[in-house]
Amino acid sequence: MEEARKHHCMVVVRQSVYVLGGYRENDSWNSSMEILRSVIMYTFSSSEDGNWEECGSLCRPVAKATAAISKTNIFIFSGISLEDPDNVCDIIQCFDTTTNECTVLDCVLPIGQSFNWLHAYGYGDDIYLTNARKIWRFYGESREKDGMYLEELHTFEREGTLAGFVSRAQSLYFLGTMVGDSDCDNSVLTKGIAEFDLCTKEVATLVGKALFLPSACKCHNLVISKNVMDNHRQSTFLW
């Protein structure tokens, strides 16, 4: 890339990698920072090295957003903008990779200020969103569910904040809730591990007992072996 970025979105569509939004690597969060509007693309070629090229722009430049793909569309959820860096955007943008055009959907994300925990996960042609409390299915521009874009599937009735989640095959795994341990100021108590089945839309408790951790934690996907163009991935979760 001609310039490095931070807090951008990156997805793979067909034979190309797309990088959307974010801010310049050397910028800091102050009045002089610049959030990038441009969308750049890298296309793989079996005969020669590919090149980065600018292929479009976002309707609203955002950083720290989350993105997922459905067919040839890239959906960009939430993020923060230069105009109001202290608050989260409640918009959804759609970048069409066949026309390289971006639109803003007529939908308001009901996420409050939990944008740091908002994640999008594509499963087939469906997209699922989750934050610290809820799981939604996103129907995109088809509005398959009674003319709505979002359908709430599950609410975690727990105190504290979910420690994290990872995806594997047809399930999402959620690690506990982070609440302070009254016996130790530096430790964190998490209340088990839950699995959300994307096929049945059911939630099961895999580990019901409390887990004591030495400090705050996050979940990560660990890729064992994957070709960048392979649709199948192997992952696990760590904390």
Task: Report the CATH number at residue 42.
Answer: 2.120.10.80
User: Is-contact 93 120, C-beta < 8 A?
Assistant: no
CA terminus-to-terminus distance, the chain? 32
At 4 the pLDDT is: 82
Domain stops at, among 109, 127, 155: 155
Q: Could you tell me if 170 and 231 lie in one domain?
A: yes
Q: Could you tell me if 116 and 166 lie in one domain?
A: no
What is the residue range of 191's domain?
Answer: 159-238
Long-range contacts, 23-29 (Cβ 8 Å, 24+): 23/63, 29/85
Q: Assign 211 a pLDDT band (cuts: 50, 70, 90).
A: low
> Regarding predicted confidence, which is higher, 25 or 59?
59
Percent pLDDT > 90 in the chain is 22
How many Å apart are CA 126 and CA 144, to the nearest integer?
A: 11
At 103 the pLDDT is: 95
Domain stops at, among 125, 155, 185: 155
How many Å apart are CA 54 and CA 18, to the nearest integer?
A: 10
Q: Could you tell me if 76 and 166 lie in one domain?
A: no
At 154 the pLDDT is: 85
18 closest CA partner among 64, 61, 70, 74? 74
7 closest CA partner among 91, 94, 82, 93? 82
Domain stops at, among 124, 155, 186: 155
* pTM of the model as a whole: 0.78
